[in-house]
Amino acid sequence: MKLVDVSVKRPIGVIMIVLAIILMGTISLRNLAIDLYPKLNLPISVVMTEYEGAAPQEVEKLVTKPLEGSLGTIEGIKKLQSTSAPGQSLIILQFDWGSNMDEKINSMRDKLDLVTSFLPEEAGKPLVLKLDPTAIPIMRLSVSGDLDQNRLTQIAEDVIKPRLERTPGVANVSLLGSKQKEVKVEVSPVYLNGYGISINQITQILGSENLSATAGTLQKGDQELQLRINGEFENIDQIKNVLIPLPKGGTVKLQDIAKITEVDKKITEITKVSGKPSLTFDISKKSDGNTIKVSDELYQSMEGIEKVLPQGVHLDTVYDLSVFIRQSVYNVLRNLIVGGLLAIIILYLFLKNLRSTLVIGIAMPIAVISTFNLIYFTGESLNLLTLGGLALGIGMMVDSAIVILENIFRYREQGYEMMEAAQEGSKEVAPAVIASALTTVAVFIPIVFVKGLAAELFRPLALTVSFSLLASLIASLTIVPMLSARLLKKGEKEPNIAQGFKGVLYKVLFAFERLMNKVYDKYRSALKWSLGHRKTVVFGTLALVVATFALVPLVGTEFIPTMDQGEINIDVTLPQGTLLQETDQTVANIESKLSGIPEVKTVFTSAGNGGAFAMGIGNSNIGNLYVKLVPLAERDRSTDEVMEEIRQVTKKIPGAEVKVSQIQSGGFGSGSPISIMISGDDLTVLEQLAEQVKAEVMQVEGTRNVESSVDEGRPEMQILVDRDKASLYGLNFAQIMSSVKTGFNGQVATRYRNEGREIDVRVTLPEEYKKDMNQVGEMLLQTPFGTQIPLKEVASIVQVKGPTQIEREDQKRKVTITSDLVGRDLGSVTKDIQAKLDQLHLPDGYMYEMGGQVKDMADAFGDLQYALILAIFLVYMVMAVQFEAITYPFIIMFSMPATFIGIVVGLVITGWPLSIPAFIGVIMLAGIVVNNAIVLVDYINILRKRGMERKEAILKAGPNRLRPILMTTLTTILGLIPLMLGIGEGAETQAPLATVMVFGLSFSTLVTLLLVPVMYLYIDDFENWVKRKWFGGRSKKHVRTS
């Protein structure tokens, strides 16, 4: 090859190019973003619409359905889901993978504009959001101190929040648990009745009195002055003195008919850190931000903030995602370095030559640095998967260099000069080396075309492995020959020094050499025996493959392995209608029970909120605890084991339903592992079916926290308006609803500015009227005729239990039963649940569907199966091009069945289920296991081309190629061992992948060394028979080599 000749003859040019690559790689590495996972372009968008004070049925009928009808006409929608909750509509649209989400969001806004005018006046404008996993908070801070909550809130809003928002890379800062002021105008029903005015009139008058507007311009000499009318309230006294016109003439001051006070808004959430009341900041980064860099910037901002805070006020960190990212990245880098060192050590044991080992030791880091360049220019970040790709490739990076160096070394031992040995040795095996690298890279090509979460998640890993292998291939064809021509000396051995470290080293090398000599001798005997007992070898291998199928049921399946991040989420649900203060007491009780668990570091509690990262409105009966454990290296128990203890100490909390789950960053999959959707029209029937399915799921071993989206119902007073009676008084439904909502929920009439803050002015009835059920019916309604009637004249009032939320999918009502897993894998539990559900008889018009991670896993496995088949086909095509024949690639493909044995045995021994990472490992093996066979078959063909008889060529090629085969296999396996052990944070993602590759490659290598030579004879015999039978040709003596 000309590339080899040029590299050997022009070392200065090669060195300059290498130095340039190192320089660019260093710069690229400094500028690479660091994150936990690659940026995912999820084809999901959300539409949120507020409808304050409305019950779920109203939200569904008046908001959700109209919006669904309009949005449902957009092309490319895969799934349309909605939840109608008290005061809020949430619609989630999932599009096909690969959709242009900017175009889809524009289409959504256009469709929403068509129906917004038909929504109730009280409903807010629909808000369209693109679901971005990177938008989750990367840091949570707490503000606590000796000051009262109002003063603390003022400091948080005026001092802390603006500085945090100005931090580079920060996208959003949300304040939780703050206290807000409002002006409450409590209008007396007695005065309303006496003066003949309605509560809605009070609201309208306040709104019209608090206005400010420009009225044009005024010319004054050479100046043009703006004319402005300012009628905004400046203090609460002005609100009190607003004049209310009376129907019979005259006016009355607002303070004469209402109690006007500035009060704290009704508390809807109580937050605490380690039992102490606090305010909380949730901070999100920009989508293209570097999590670690943004975190560092935030800590710098916090140092400046703490200098200006009043004495006794503290700003502390509750949660910092960058800590886990740093630990995970460090562990992967450590595994990468350890794997590389193990590969170098095994090389030294084989070569017993420091200079030869140094050649590869230099080429390896250059290939790694080159990969950083390619990662940077493709826009990827350093994350668990890109670094995992480097760690996976570290052992394979030296494969090409080993084959070339070993052949150069062999030429030197045969007496060739350094320059000639480097050129001829490299060029002889270069085609096989290129083919081996291309077969490995070829398996990743299908992932580029596959769509779905698996492809989005592991495409960066595929690119990184491909980049590293191509970089190492180029290094092997340039740097290795160039260095070998100048560093390798004939017959150089380590000196025989009997004392000290070198003496021990020599003994190790000598012992390893004796061991390998025995291996070579045993292999020669085994190979000779195999060629004489071909049927035994073939049927023996076939029997092993068949026997392995008996182990397949022992291999479970799961979507993506759970990482031990040391974060636990505890959801607490009390009976509907429970007061917020009671919920807070229950949460505090649970927190006190956690104090005895040594692994617990920090506890953040929230009463009245749906969870640490919940989206939507919480209820007073819902509480949440976020538990942060000490780092993994500082505890003896896993997060799962700590969670089990928490379940035991919280299972007897009176009246509370406690759910303990592990928090996972990244947001992969569709929520719970098990999710069963039942769809139909009647909520009552759906509730009954949900209870049946829930009971069946609870009987399946391995299920935990089985829940239904239909709960006991929320107690409510329903006002049933008699529209016919109302029309007789000139009233319609909207007028009645508005009056009742204003009276009992209150309505913000206007806002006034006070010390730079906007304060709501809320008109409502006095609190004592809201505590008496009889007062509801006595509420007076103002008719268009100037008369007043009690509400009970046109409506009946009943107490019922209404749904807390109404779920819909594809514009049909549904209920969802969810479950977590414990002690069993997702696939086996799903199989048992499916068997039970198949026995249920659902009414006509009702159906169930398995969703959640079960469906995600099935979709991903289907995509990866397609990628695997395509990868095998591409590997065959690459080998066919290399050998310019269709039979030799077929011989080499027989190295794959043994891989299946190794994969199954490896998963059974280690206990890892078959997951997406493990499946990616299977695909990678399709391109790796053939490499040894390629080297072996190619050398057999070379010897036959030189005139050797085929059996003689096999018996010579096998032992001669055994050393490079063992070297490449062992370096790859040892490079993967640190990942397979799964030690440290974030290791769970790569461990199944590495396990599959280590066991699959080990078994494949053992079988390849015997099966491939046997199949070579069989295929060659068959090819000769075909030529004689059909073409009258002779048996071939010479073969085409790569």
Please say whether the beta carbons of 996 and 906 come within 8 A.
Answer: yes
Residue 436 · residue 400 · CB < 8 Å: yes
| Cα–Cα dist 485/493, whole Å | 18
In this predicted structure, what is the pLDDT of residue 46? 92
Same fold, 181-264+715-802 and 352-492: no
| Cα within 13 Å of Cα(247), Cβ side | 16
Surface-to-core class of residue 107, CB atoms within 10 Å of its CB (0-12 exposed, 13-18 middle, 19+ buried): middle
* Residue among 267, 241, 252, 243 at smallest CA distance from 182: 267
In Å, the largest CA–CA distance within the chain is: 122
pLDDT of 903 over the 90 cut = yes
Give domain limits for the chain. Answer: 44-131, 135-180+268-324, 181-264+715-802, 352-492, 493-524
Q: What are phi and psi of 154, to 5 degrees?
A: -60, -40
Please answer whether residues 995 and 921 qualify as being in contact, where contact means their C-beta atoms are separated by less than 8 angstroms.
yes
What residue type is assigned to position 229 of the chain? I
Q: What is the pLDDT of residue 618?
A: 56
What is the structure's pLDDT at 19? Answer: 92
> Which is more confidently placed, 853 or 167?
167
Beta bridge partners of 629: 600
Residue 124 is classified by DSSP as P
The per-residue DSSP string of 588-609 comes to HHHHHHHTT-TTEEEEEEEESS
Q: Look up residue 671 and give its two tokens.
A: 């929520």
According to the model, what pLDDT value does residue 47 have? 92
Give the residue from 465, 339, 472, 346 showing the smallest Cα distance to 397. 472
pLDDT value at 610 more than 60: no
Q: Is 490 exposed, middle or buried (0-12, 13-18, 19+ CB in 10 A)?
A: middle
Our CA dihedral for 1011, 1012, 1014, 1020, rounded to 10 degrees, sits at 150
360 — pLDDT class (breaks 50, 70, 90):
confident
Our CA angle for 25, 30, 33, nearest 5°, is: 110
Query: For a pLDDT cut of 90, what percent of the chain falls above it?
Result: 12
Other C-beta atoms closer than 10 Å to the C-beta of 836 total 14
Q: Which CATH number fits domain 135-180+268-324: 3.30.70.1320, 3.30.56.10, 3.40.50.2020, 3.40.50.170?
A: 3.30.70.1320
Closest by Cα among 409, 433, 426, 431 to 354: 409
Cα-based distances in Å from 120 to 126, 592, 741, 876, 927? 12, 46, 13, 64, 61
Residue 932 confidence (pLDDT) above 80? yes
Residue 882 pLDDT: 79
397 or 278: which carries more pLDDT confidence? Answer: 278
Residues 792-804: what's their mean pLDDT?
A: 79
The pLDDT tens digits for 1027-1036 are 777 765 555 5
pTM exceeds 0.85: no
**Residues shown for the chain:** 1042
Residue 170 CB coordination number (10 Å)? 20
* pLDDT tens track for 714-727: 667 778 888 888 88
**How high is the mean pLDDT of the chain?**
84
CATH number of 181-264+715-802: 3.30.2090.10
Read off the tokens for 979.
Answer: 């990942």
pLDDT tens digits, 816-833: 888 888 888 888 888 899
Q: Considering the domain delimited by 44-131, tell me its CATH architecture.
A: 2-Layer Sandwich (3.30)
Percent of the chain with pLDDT over 70: 95
**How far are the Cα atoms of 286, 723, 839, 997 from residue 836, in angstroms, in the given order?**
46, 48, 6, 36
567: nearest Cα among 631, 614, 610: 631
Judge contact between 549 and 629, C-beta under 8 A: no
Answer for the pair 4, 426: CB distance below 8 angstroms, yes or no. Answer: yes
Confidence of residue 535 (pLDDT cuts 50, 70, 90): very high
Report which secondary-structure segment, H or E, holds 338: helix 321-351
Tens of pLDDT, residues 830-878: 889 988 888 888 888 888 888 878 888 888 888 888 888 888 898 888 8
pLDDT in tens, 718-776: 788 888 888 888 888 878 888 888 888 788 888 888 777 788 898 988 888 777 777 78
Q: Give ∠ CA 1022-1026-1031 in degrees, rounded to 5.
A: 155
77-85 and 44-50 beta bridge pairing: unpaired
* pLDDT at 611 exceeding the cut of 70: no
Residues 352-492, CATH architecture:
Up-down Bundle (1.20)
CB under 8 Å to 362, separation ≥6 — which residues? Answer: 479, 483
**Would you give the distance in Å from CA 709 to the centre of its chain?**
24
Cα 185 from Cα 765, distance rounded (Å): 8
The pLDDT confidence band at residue 1020, using thresholds 50, 70 and 90, is confident
15 to 302, 418, 486: CA distances (angstroms): 47, 19, 13
The residue-averaged pLDDT of 469-495 equals 77
Q: Which token pair is 339? A: 């794997």
Q: Please state, in angstroms and rounded to a whole number, the distance separating the CA atoms of residues 629 and 142.
A: 17
DSSP 781-834: EE-TTS-EEEGGGTEEEEEEEE-S-EEEETTEEEEEEEEEE-SS-HHHHHHHHH
HSE, CB side, 13 Å, CA atoms: give it for residue 991: 20
Structure confidence by residue, pLDDT tens digits, 956-965: 988 888 888 8
Residue type (1 letter), 957: A
